[in-house]
Amino acid sequence: MTSLTIIGVLVGYLIVLLAIGFWGRKESGDLRGYYVAGKKLPSWVIAFSSNATGESAWLLLGLTGMGYMIGVHAFWIIMGEVLGVACAWIWVARPFKEYTDRYDSITVPDYLTERFRDTSHIFRWISAIIILSMVMAYTAAQLTASGKAFDSFLGTGYTQGVWIGLGIVLFYTTVGGFKAVAYSDFVQGVLMLACLIILPIVGIVAAGGWGEMISALGAQDPALLDPMGSFGLGPAGIASAAGSVAIGLAFLGSPQLLTRFMAARDQKQIVDGGLWAVLCVIGFDVGAVFAGMAGRTLYPGLLDPETILPQMSASLFPAFFTGMFLVVVLAAIMSTVDSLLILASSVVVRDVVQQAMGSTWSERSLSMLGKGVTVVIGLVGLAVALLEVRLIFDFVLFAWSGIACAFTPVVLCSLFWKRTTREGAIAGMIVGFAVTVLWVELFKTGFYDLYEMIPGFFVGLAACVSVSLLTRPNAEAVAEFEAVHESVGPLFRA
């Protein structure tokens, strides 16, 4: 009976998503509608959608698992994400929106190509390689989460859970365009926030209250209550804290998040959405860490800490609410995967096929191609997820940093330094991405496991600046920079 109740809740949720998908189809008749919802989204949708996309199953399974494993040391992650989201909405969103409206951009490579007057389409080709490789890794991480979630809630087994998750995601993402993705992400973001408010409260109460939970954690391991964790105030502890804070850098320039700013109706939506976005990410992250800490008190010794949320939901709530928690985990997975697959589709169809290769295919044909790309990338992600059951937290961080280190330094320089050149931006993208991958493969274990975002971001930034200083910026681009500077106003100048 319990399983039937959970399945009933799941089926009801999928019907809602299907309805949103069909409702969004009317906007997907052309590429502008399909990939940026015709640039008509309101503030509350882009706020929740951007956070739901940025957080993913990493939040509900990965970050709760980190709260379980390392306790208050996980609050460095919260600091990084809150700072990253706040800075993105305060400083990045408005000038980026101004630029992309002038260019009528529908992808980030569109923006970079126009911003640096790139007639060779090299930004499009580089972006395609980076985005496709990282999206497949990111998708694999989300499917790993799907396998764990279905197995924990319904006992399907890991492999069957991965297949079910892929089937749901592919079905949904091929029904509607970006409008359906954004509005479904809004619904999913609200569900995630509600879950992460309710779960830690119930968990702390079940643990005997705040004082009892803290005492129990201290008795298990005093390091769970130490801000520097088990590392202490040494090189390893500092590297761990710095790496956790650096996670927030990705919010400043990752394409899957910048797309939300492009899709906003106007500048007012950006201004109005910032407060909602910051409050949302605080609720997400604080709730996840506290839930993990409460779970450590209630269920010490779990073999897989990333199953603590399913464990708590099944033990502390009636079957209906257990079904709702399964829905929330799926919401986290789907809110990221649908955005990533749309991103990958856009870079193939818009940037490579239509622009770089000069295709004259009809909009309908390009749309069908995009759906085919979605299926192929999903299947590759499936293969990777089935090869090895990895920690979601680590897998997502690698893909998250790979995309971010390629784009964020270049996007920031393009928005805030008029001296940035085409050659510098190209160097920044290639070097930032390459250093991130090489750091993980060759150097990370020898440097206290320092998170790859730090060397990738700062070396990429240094490459962009250094090469720009050795080359000459486009005079027309410099004049346009000044015009955008004046149009956006004092906050941009600050």
Dump the DSSP string for 216-241: HHHHH-GGGG-TTGGG-SSHHHHHHH
Indicate if the pLDDT at residue 395 is higher than 70.
no
Reply yes or no on whether the pLDDT at 170 is more than 90. no
User: Which string of DSSP letters, residue by residue, matches 302-352?
Assistant: -S-GGGHHHHHHHHHS-HHHHHHHHHHHHHHHHHHHHHHHHHHHHIIIIII
- Residue 494 CA to residue 492 CA, distance in Å, equals 5
Mean pLDDT value of segment 153-170: 79
Answer yes or no: is 129 within a domain.
yes
Which residues have a Cβ under 8 Å from the Cβ of 41 and sit 6 or more positions away? Answer: 49, 179, 182, 260, 263, 264, 265, 269
Instruction: Say if residue 107's pLDDT is above 70.
Output: yes
Summarize the confidence of residues 414-427 as an average pLDDT.
Answer: 97
Q: Which of 108, 36, 139 is nearest to 408 (CA)?
A: 108
- The answer as to whether 429 is a domain residue is no
Confidence of residue 84 (pLDDT cuts 50, 70, 90): very high
Nearest one of 387, 338, 392, 366 to 170, comparing CA atoms: 338
Q: What is the DSSP letter of 264?
A: B
Q: Is 404 contained in some domain?
A: no
Distance of CA 213 to the CA centre of its chain: 31
> What's the pLDDT score for residue 103?
94
What is the residue-averaged pLDDT of the chain? 86
Tally of domains within the chain: 1
- 158 lies in some domain: yes
What would the pLDDT profile of 267-277 be if each residue is shown by its tens digit?
999 989 999 99
Sign of CA dihedral 355, 358, 363, 366: negative
- The secondary structure of residue 42, as a DSSP letter, is -
Do the domain assignments include residue 403?
A: no
CATH number of the domain within which 179 lies: 1.20.1730.10
Taking CA atoms, 300 is separated from 152, 220, 241, in Å, by 17, 9, 24
Whether 253 maps to a domain, the answer reads yes
- Mean pLDDT over residues 275-280, rounded? 92
Please give the structure tokens belonging to residue 62: 């990965």
Q: pTM of the full predicted structure?
A: 0.88
Question: pLDDT grade, residue 392 (50/70/90)?
Answer: low
Identify the weakest region by mean pLDDT among 29-38, 304-313, 416-425, 460-469. Answer: 29-38
- In this structure, is residue 130 part of a structural domain? yes
What pLDDT, on a 0 to 100 scale, did the predictor assign at position 493? 44
The yes-or-no verdict on residue 36 having pLDDT over 90 is no
Considering only residues 7 and 425, tell me which one the structure prediction assigns the higher pLDDT. Answer: 425
Q: Which range is least confidently modeled, 68-72, 167-171, 409-413, 469-473?
A: 167-171
End-to-end Cα distance, the chain: 60
- Residue 434: inside a domain, yes or no? no
With a pLDDT cut of 70, the percent of the chain lying above it is 94
CA distance 189 to 51: 7
Which residue range(s) make up the domain with 254?
Answer: 2-392
